[in-house]
Chain A
Amino acid sequence: MVADDMPLAAVLRAYDQRVSLDLSAVDMPCLLVPPGDLIALCRQLRDAPALRFDFLSDICGVDIFPQSPRFMLVYHLFSIPHKWRLRLKCRLSEQASAPTVTPVWPTANWHEREAYDMYGISFDGHPDLRRIYMWEGFDGFPMRRDFPLRGYKDDYNPMGAKRPPDEAAG
């Protein structure tokens, strides 16, 4: 499935060493990119006539707790003219925020809201960064590895886990 003829070498050269190819990927080529270069890279991937990644399939947040940096954003791109898929991975520390890709692909709007809602990853410049699944005022980010499966105990959730003491105080 890996498209060997995808002209990625030019892209890699343009970001000398900052963007690298993840050789462990088996299903499609995968690029590792730092948050600072994400927008420029996305624009290039979308607009370069030889690449034309015009379709953003998905943005997936991943929590690699307790490893550091803790978060990872995985972007799955697809090129409708060339029928290629590409994966971008962007590592983020807990405090850092990612740049929004909504100006490049408007569809990212809800995907980024989902990543924010589930993991608490914030996106700089997002037009409408609110929770999407959970209600406003919900405490915590449910998909984080340290969030209990049953949620935290409260009036509505008597079977939930007890909050760790340091968090309950804050």
Chain B
Amino acid sequence: MTETTVLSEITTDTGLSRDVLLNLGPQHPSTHGVLRLLLQMDGEIVERIEPHIGLLHRGTEKLFESFTYTQIFPLTDRLDYLCPPSNNLGYALAVEGLLGIEAPVRAQYIRVMMAELSRISGHLLITGALPMDVGAMTTLLYTMRDREMVMDLMEMISGVRMHTSFCRVGGVREDLPEGAEARILQFCDIFAARISDYETLLENNRIFLARVENIGNITGEDAIALGLSGPNLRASGVDWDIRRDAPYEIYGQVEFEVILRQDGDCYDRWKCRVDEMRESLKIIRQCIHQMPKGDIMIDDPKIAFPVDKDLLAHSMETHIHHFILSANGFKVPAGEFYSAIEAPKGELGYYLISDGSEKPFRLKVRAPSFVNLQALTERTTNIKYLADVIAMLGSLDPVMGEVDK
């Protein structure tokens, strides 16, 4: 839906110019969900961009306050719905931080591996969607085909394609199924070659480059001031990656490079993500090779659901714990904790305030897409035409589930 309203007709030396208010979205393929942009235009030239968000607002933070700590996992899935494992991981770390526990090493490897798989799945979307926004349809079809492989892996591991809810406080829900490791490695081999295919399709494509190169530049200083994080920040040359600089889980034990680019234009933000997928593959391979055998859940019946489901039928104690956990949940000591992880979109923070009960007193999500979207409105140079706005929006890679919470 695009509607225009003529505000005024201005006669200039060069002819007639019209001051137009253009409504873009909320239902429009290039707005990646339900984002509404109000554009004040002088002919084709954009003078002001005003994003209207909140059309997907589901009151997630209000709901958090009435859910038990285990029930919250499915809600976090629906924030950045392209990468549920990352959302789960960030939330689990916040609760574990307050409880003072740490998941077993094997569980940490599984979590990180799934988070990286989901990073690939999230980045694949923008790798194909940005070219589609600017007119190159083909790449999206290829990236969607390959994203299907990640979906299949998610389904194999957790039973669902998208909203995995695989993390639990203190570990993960289940161990990897038989044969999963081999299939993940097989995926890594196939996918490594595919990344080069996308680059071949687009990197020297003059039409694509004309639309994204030197468009929507953000300097490093402005990117920090705007609060950009993740690939959007690193595309502007700011060297900061939480996985490397404040390693959580087992990121300290795996080797990978932080992708940096200097220009901070739409092309750099796109390229940054393409290269990050290679690094994610490296991390996934290392996870599979380093992953030890062992527990996937901490041994604390007051927090963790029983891993061995047979016990439910035979052990009265397990049965009681399971009932209490399901009916009431577990208590988390009073206090507050901020956990920040490097989600595919940037710094995903969960700020948890507990009053000592089974439900959080306040759980705030620092959603990276929400903050990144602000770059549309200010401090971005080289957005002149309507077409540039579309490229800029695509390159910022907002996911409306996370923007609107």
A interface residues, Cβ below 8 angstroms from B: 24-28, 54-58, 60, 62-63, 74, 76, 78, 80, 83, 85, 87, 105-107, 109-111, 118, 131-135, 142-143, 147, 149
- Is B349 a contact partner of A57 (Cβ separation < 8 A)? yes
Instruction: Provide the bound-state CA to CA distance between A155 and B229, in Å.
Output: 41
Distance between Cα atoms of A25 and B351 in the complex (Å)? 12
Closest 7 CB pairs of A and B: A107-B227, A133-B54, A58-B366, A60-B364, A133-B57, A106-B225, A27-B337
Contact across chains for B366 and A142 when beta carbons are under 8 A apart:
no
Write the nearest CB–CB distance from B371 to chain A, whole angstroms: 6
> A148's closest neighbor in chain B, by CB?
B62
Q: Establish whether residues A143 and B366, one from each chain, have CB atoms under 8 Å apart when the complex forms.
A: no
Are A76 and B351 neighbours in the complex by a CB distance under 8 Å?
Answer: yes
Known contacts A76-B338, A76-B351, A87-B338; A107 and B225 CB within 8 A of each other: yes
Among A54, A87, A111, A133, which residue has the most Cβ atoms of chain B within 10 A? A133
Q: Quick check: A107 and B54 within 8 Å, CB to CB?
A: no
Binding site secondary structure of chain B: mixed
- Chain B residues lying within 8 Å of A85, measured Cβ to Cβ, are 338, 340
Q: Which of B53, B226, B240, B336 contacts A107 (CB 8 A)?
A: B226
Q: How far is the CB of B134 from chain A (nearest CB, A)?
A: 26
Out of B62, B338, B364, B404, name the residue touching A27 (CB < 8 Å). Answer: B338
Complex interface: chain B residues within 8 A of A63 (CB): 362
**A62 to B338, Cβ gap below 8 A?**
no
Cβ-defined contact, A57 with B246, below 8 A: no
B227: which of A56, A62, A74 is its contact (CB, 8 Å)? A56
- Given known contacts A57-B347, A60-B351, A105 and B364 CB-to-CB distance under 8 angstroms: no
Chain B residues with CB under 8 Å of A28's CB are: 338
**Per a CB cutoff under 8 Å, which of A25, A78, A80 touches B336?**
A25
4 new A-B contacts at CB < 8 Å, known A27-B336, A110-B370, A147-B62: A56-B227, A57-B347, A106-B378, A133-B405
Inside 8 A of B405's CB, which chain A residues have their CB? 133
Q: Assess the A80–B240 pair: CB atoms within 8 A.
A: yes
What residue of chain B has the Cβ atom nearest to residue A149's Cβ? B66
A57 to B353 alpha-carbon distance, docked (Å)? 17
Which A residues lie within 8 Å of B15 (CB)? none
The reply to whether the CB of B379 lies closer than 8 angstroms to some CB of chain A is yes
* Residue from the set B66, B335, B364, B379 with the largest chain A CB neighbour count within 10 Å: B364
Q: Would B374 and A134 count as touching, CB distance under 8 A?
A: no
* Cα–Cα, bound, A107→B245 (Å): 22
Are A55 and B227 interface neighbours, CB within 8 A? yes
B62 interface neighbour in A26, A54, A142, Cβ under 8 Å: A142
Assess whether A135 is in contact with B353, with CB atoms less than 8 Å apart. no
Question: Complex Cα distance A105/B226, Å?
Answer: 7
